[in-house]
Structure 1
Amino acid sequence: MTTMDQSRVSTSRPAPRTPDVSLRGVARRFGDVVALDGVDLTLGPGEVVGFVGPNGSGKTTTVRVLLGLLRPTSGRATVRGWDCWQQSQQVHHLVGYVPAEPGLDPRLTGWQVMRRSRRLRGGTDDGRAEEVARRLDLDLGVRVGDASRGTRQKLAVVLALAHRPAVLLLDEPTTGLDPVSQREFHRLVGEQTAAGGSALLCSHVLSEVEQTADRVVVLRAGQVVAEGTPAQLRARSPFRVRARLGTSMPYELLRDLPGAADVRVEGDWVQCAVPPAALPALCARLAEHGVLDLECGQDDLEQSVLAWYREHR
């Protein structure tokens, strides 16, 4: 090997790994109704992304596009490089899907549902199915039609994990689960990502998203309106301040602060909400009137996301 060849070897870099999930400019229309409008989203190995938004924002439509059940009007969706529409069979081998409302044949037992899934999908590991069922305290011998809402949801989780998928698509996955089963489900998702897999978590339970997700994507009317870690989204949240002052403060001094909202002056008590950048100016103005009592707090993730909803109506 020549010196030049050795140099090439020593400076070469491995090619970047294909994202587990990639949406690029994905739009989906139903006639005149725009369900998705140019959505960009990437999900990397070992990552849980919380996908949040109000009803009708496009979360379930996005999941259906990723499952190859809907063809994008424009743009492209892939799972580990496979096109979700054109190569949906390959995608289905990589994906585990937990819907909010599992459509299971009520005549079958859990084991019979598993066997049917094995015939349709292949690759199902009975040992893995038994392990997940045990951890969720699920009896696979129960007939679906006789099962409670939570039991059917547990079975959906077992079906999603039995073939050891690379990517989990979770659409309100803990609906109907008791708190103990919810905690065990989150452990299962954590093990999935620790092993190099990934998960897209659609949920209205924002406390669940905050505890589980590495990154949060906020969807509104088919568009991504905010994205970041839970801490980054909270950092954009306003501070809510309530203070009792030694001297009266004119209402205008609070109202005129950049971004001030919910301004109230009641006797010697004042309160308002300001963005983080305006907090020093607010504190300076309050100090001029002698602060006797002060309460200050920042919105949590749930309040932050609700604020994004309101701003993008």
Structure 2
Amino acid sequence: MKVININNLTKSYGNARGITNVSFHVEEGEIFGFIGPNGAGKSTTIRTLLSLIYPTSGKAEIFGKDCIEFAPEIAKQVGYLPSEVFYYDNMKVIDLLKYSASFYKKDCGKRIKELAEIMDLDLKKKIDDLSLGNKKKVGIVQGLLHEPKLIILDEPTSGLDPLMQQRFFDLLLEENKKGATILFSSHILSEVQRLCDRVAIIKEGKIVTVEKISTLKENNYKKFKIETKETAEQDFFNIAGVDNLNVADHSVSFLFRGDINIVMKKIAEVEIANLWIEEPDLEEIFMHYYEKEV
């Protein structure tokens, strides 16, 4: 079942960049990554999906229901953490969370305490007295307290220290095991690589590719690093399938996609001191997509 289904979603802001013909879907039980640098269109896509802003054209569905027509009904089953959280400063954390829980017409008291303990959040403090990181923790608890079927996270780890990030990732994996579907938007590629099954890469408001992480890493590219006995020639490995070529003295590195026999024959023509062939990390693949023209 497609929990999220987005078809040709477009949001125009006149001359300012919005999103253009964005299409992807998220399967039930999936942790789906949505990556691109700040300003690429991630938040616009998410806000349009949640009917916080309306699309210029195109359509989006959650749980098979139109996002605009059924927005109040859908919201009961969705947990959302925006990239920036803003609250009433004079409220205590517990009062804010109880107020949030009241919208779902269910007793969330036990779950609030569980989540606050996991995230090391002091429920008695006033919002005004919290650091940026602790305000983000409030947002995390607020987004998960009603045990939503779909969790949508927009740059969720900004402000969290490494220990809290790890706890948060563990919490997400636990929610996923219980059946929650997760849309995880980030510009931090290691997070996406660690958590997600599939990923959509967005550039300048347009989807560049939608792939399994395993496909991006394993099937498409290999990372070569070669130490040569003689000074490497700049253009020697300038062959079809080679990207991100770097040549310096006795060192050559590049990404390669295609028939590996071609590049191995080329390597055989050189006196080499050492050779490494690895899977590239997601960041290297990501930069490749960003350097290409779409």
User: TM-score normalised to the size of structure 2?
Assistant: 0.91
In structure 2, distance between residues paired with 1:173 and 1:292: 45
Q: 1:105 to 1:222 in 2, by over 3 A?
A: same
Task: Report how far residue 29 of structure 1 moved.
Answer: 0.8
Structure 2 letter corresponding to 1:97: Y
Task: Report how far residue 173 of structure 1 moved.
Answer: 0.9
The aligned counterpart of 2:45 is: 62
SS at match of 1:20: strand
State whether structure 2 residue 262 is matched by structure 1 residue 281: yes
Structure 1 letter corresponding to 2:224: R
The aligned counterpart of 2:223 is: 239
User: 8 Å contact 1:94–1:167 — kept in the other structure?
Assistant: yes
In structure 2, distance between residues paired with 1:263 and 1:291: 16
In structure 1, distance between residues paired with 2:268 and 2:223: 17
Residue in structure 1 matching 2:158, options 175, 183, 188? 175
In structure 1, distance between residues paired with 2:233 and 2:293: 32
Aligned CA RMSD, in angstroms, stands at 2.1
Structure 2 letter corresponding to 1:45: E
In structure 1, distance between residues paired with 2:248 and 2:124: 64
Identity of aligned residues (%): 28
User: 8 Å contact 1:23–1:76 — kept in the other structure?
Assistant: yes
Q: 1:252 to 1:56 in 2, by over 3 A?
A: closer
Structure 2 letter corresponding to 1:276: R
Task: Report how far residue 172 of structure 1 moved.
Answer: 0.9
Task: Report how far residue 297 of structure 1 moved.
Answer: 3.6
User: 8 Å contact 1:50–1:201 — kept in the other structure?
Assistant: yes
SS at match of 2:237: helix
SS at match of 1:254: coil
Task: Report how far residue 280 of structure 1 moved.
Answer: 2.4
Task: Report how far residue 90 of structure 1 moved.
Answer: 0.8
Query: Where do residues 225-304 of structure 1 align in structure 2 (5 Å cutoff)?
Result: 225-235=208-218, 236-245=220-229, 252-255=235-238, 257-261=239-243, 262=245, 264=247, 266=249, 269=250, 271-277=252-258, 279-304=260-285
SS at match of 1:39: strand
User: 8 Å contact 1:117–1:124 — kept in the other structure?
Assistant: no
User: 8 Å contact 1:220–1:312 — kept in the other structure?
Assistant: no
User: 8 Å contact 2:228–2:270 — kept in the other structure?
Assistant: no
Query: Where do residues 59-98 of structure 1 align in structure 2 (5 Å cutoff)?
Result: 59-98=42-81
Unaligned 5+ runs, structure 1: 1-16
User: TM-score normalised to the size of structure 1?
Assistant: 0.86
Q: Which has the higher helix share?
A: 1
Deviations 1:130-165 (A, max 9, x none): 111111111111100001111111111111111111
Deviations 1:78-105 (A, max 9, x none): 1102221122101210110112211111
Task: Report how far residue 254 of structure 1 moved.
Answer: 2.5
In structure 2, distance between residues paired with 1:60 and 1:94: 20
Alignment length (residue pairs): 292
Residue in structure 2 matching 1:148, options 127, 131, 134? 131
Task: Report how far residue 119 of structure 1 moved.
Answer: 3.5
Structure 2 letter corresponding to 1:114: L
User: 8 Å contact 1:28–1:36 — kept in the other structure?
Assistant: yes
In structure 2, distance between residues paired with 1:193 and 1:248: 51
